[in-house]
Amino acid sequence: MPLSKPQQVISNSKTRFRVVVAGRRFGKTFLAMHEIAKIARYPNKNVYCIYPTYKQAKKVLWKPLRKKMVLINWAAKVNESELTIELKNGTLITLVGADNFDSLRGVGLDAAILDEFQLLDKEAWLEVIRPALSDRQGSALFIGTPNGVGSFAHELYNKAKDPQEKNWQAFTYTTIQGGNVPQEEIDQARQDLDERTFRAEYEASFETFSNACYYAFSRDENGSLKAFTNPIPRQIHIGMDFNRTPLTAAIFDVSNDVIHQFDEISMNSSNTDEMVEEIRNRYPTQRIVVYPDPSGKRQQTSSGGRSDHTILTNAGFVVKAPNRHNPVRDGINAVNSKLKSATGKRTLFIDPKCKKTIDSMEKYSYKEGTQIPDKDAGADHFADAVRYAVDYLFPIKRDYTPEQLEPQRFGHSIR
């Protein structure tokens, strides 16, 4: 499995604990596969590749890893449900999620590869994974992207950079250094993303994020100075958050890459049927496209077995929502990118009469010392309604799978 030069530098390191912080599409998952294979060639090893969730482990790495192990004739037994591959030399490779990290207790590991480690709980490493490496003197490779100064990832990266830590080593590479993404694509990302997100995702920079989720929002530049003066468009777009109190709708005009909110609806002690009635009263002739909370697909006993999405569809609205929630961080980044891109361009505006939305955008914040939005503060409803629409219309691009990113590498044998 041939590596890029930066990947080879990481792989050649003999340090027990290695921390890799790299930009998007650096080839982190391919590097994880290579490191698994490098350890697994020795007999009777126990190797874990750990993702933040079981679903991520199965979606990102399982298929290409299983295919590779079968292709090179290393696999003796494959267990699809448990995500394990037993090799002919007695080595066991296991893919697991750290979302239930207590289930990892009691194992002894020769190696752990922690992909997207910036999303892992600190306790999972300290209380479970690190002790599992002790009896076999196992190694660990952390691979991920930065997620803010003061985070667990930042703490671990600084530990690995410390010259006094002889068993630790840190590596940092930007997206362009990875060699998998052309400069034109990076230039485009600079236009599409907000400045902080671009530096974090493409330049592997730990950014000092304030507690505000929508730190790119400016009341002057995105809000009070940006009244919507155009006629009400023939087609309107609505981001909707389902709550009994309040049920919220953020109403937009979308023209090319510009999204302009010109109205808001907030209803206490209400339901989706009443929201539909209110929307129709205000906009009786408009074609309406709704971007609701994806959880609204569930049937509700209180609605006679109908789901919120069904109620909207039956009212004649076009409903657009992913099958499940996208990562909240990606949705927040998408909104910040529209509020202000890395090049300083603003393409999301909120009419000053939408006072509750502006208040929500300013007050919606992360829990202290985390990158987890604080839902308990009550400022999330309109912020989420905006996020559902923007994240669907202008999503942050996701990484490719290893096979999509580097297809030429998957026909080679491991040496």
pLDDT at residue 82 in the model: 92
Is residue 403 situated within a structural domain? no
DSSP 133-148: TTTTT-EEEEEE----
145, 282: one domain: no
- Rounded Cα gap, residues 12 and 8, in angstroms: 6
236, 275: one domain: yes
pLDDT at residue 289 in the model: 97
Q: Contact 85/93 with Cβ under 8 angstroms?
A: yes
pTM of the model: 0.60
CATH number, domain at 171?
3.40.50.300
What is the domain count for the chain?
2
- Look up residue 67 and give its two tokens: 């295919």
Tell me the CB-side half-sphere exposure of residue 45, using CA atoms within 13 A. 19
166, 24: one domain: yes
Angle at 399 between CA 46 and CA 133, to 5 degrees: 20
225, 250: one domain: yes
Residue 353 neighbours by CB distance under 10 Å: 14
CATH number, domain at 293?
3.30.420.280
Is residue 398 situated within a structural domain? no
Q: Contact 284/316 with Cβ under 8 angstroms?
A: no
Is residue 96 situated within a structural domain? yes
pLDDT at residue 164 in the model: 84
180, 301: one domain: no
Is residue 405 situated within a structural domain? no
Q: Looking at this protein, which amino acid is placed at residue 216?
A: A
247, 191: one domain: no
Is residue 37 situated within a structural domain? yes
194, 323: one domain: no
Give buried/exposed letters for 358-382 (b at 16+ CB in 10 A, else e). Answer: bebbbbbbbeeeebebbeeeebbbb
Domain boundary among the residues 158, 183, 206 is at 206
What does the pLDDT profile of the chain (415 residues) look like in tens digits?
678 899 999 999 999 999 999 888 888 888 999 999 999 999 999 999 999 888 888 988 999 999 999 999 999 999 999 999 999 999 999 999 888 777 778 789 999 999 988 888 888 899 899 999 998 999 999 998 877 666 788 889 889 988 889 999 999 998 888 888 888 888 888 888 888 788 888 888 776 556 789 988 887 888 866 789 999 999 999 999 987 789 999 999 999 999 999 999 999 999 999 999 999 999 999 999 999 988 877 766 455 668 999 999 999 999 999 887 788 888 999 999 999 998 889 999 999 899 899 889 988 888 876 778 888 777 889 999 999 999 999 998 654 444 444 444 444 433 2
320, 375: one domain: yes
Name residue, tokens 């920079």: 205
156, 292: one domain: no
Q: Could you list the residue range(s) of the whole structural domain that residue 194 is in? A: 5-206
pLDDT at residue 415 in the model: 29
220 burial level (CB within 10 Å; 0-12, 13-18, 19+):
exposed
- Look up residue 221 and give its two tokens: 């530049």
pLDDT at residue 411 in the model: 44
276, 336: one domain: yes
292, 372: one domain: yes
Angle at 395 between CA 389 and CA 401, to 5 degrees: 145
